[in-house]
Amino acid sequence: MLRSRPLELWQPYCQLAAPERTLLAERLTPGVAWVDLRSTGGAPLEAVTRSLEAHGAAIVAGPNRDPALRRQLLQALVEPVDVGVLELHPRIVGVRRTPTGPAIELEIPEVFE
């Protein structure tokens, strides 16, 4: 996870604009799976779980104001992901607006690639 604070530059003579972490994060993020609820058919939660197990992160996308998206996110946050001998819960680390609807970034910080 990339935070804005380490990206700030120190300049004693002028105030610089705050850095935007999402511009750099797109270049540094490894292949995190996008799970689109419109195209996964009957098993969207399994696709999210597979991505969380493999990469420790997943991005869930769906249409605006979709009750299925809310249900899938709630279920993904409440049900633990079995990673080896541990059962871990993902957390939401970001929300993006896309032209097709919201994209919610989930991660399990304890999972390393």
For residue 2, pLDDT over 50 is answered with: no
What is the C-alpha separation between 48 and 19, in angstroms, rounded?
Answer: 30
Q: Which two tokens stand for residue 9?
A: 């530059």
Q: Which residue has the higher pLDDT, 50 or 3?
A: 50
Q: Terminus-to-terminus CA distance in the chain, angstroms?
A: 13
Q: Is the pLDDT of residue 9 over 70?
A: no
pLDDT band at residue 1 under the 50/70/90 scheme: very low
Residue 45 scores a pLDDT above 70: yes
**Which of 112, 39, 46 has its CA nearest to residue 81?**
46
Give the pLDDT of residue 90.
92
Angle subtended by helix axes 44-55 and 67-78, to nearest 10: 40
Average pLDDT over residues 9-30: 66
Q: What is the pLDDT of residues 50-78, one digit of tens each?
A: 888 888 888 988 888 888 888 888 988 99
Say if CB 89 and CB 82 are below 8 A apart: no
Question: What is the model's pLDDT at position 72?
Answer: 84
Q: What is the reported pLDDT for 92?
A: 92
Average pLDDT over residues 29-52: 76
11 pLDDT above the threshold of 60: yes
Mean pLDDT computed over 67-96? 88
What the block records as the tokens of 4 is 């804005």
Quick one: tokens of 103?
Answer: 């994209």
CB of 32 closer than 8 Å to CB of 57: yes
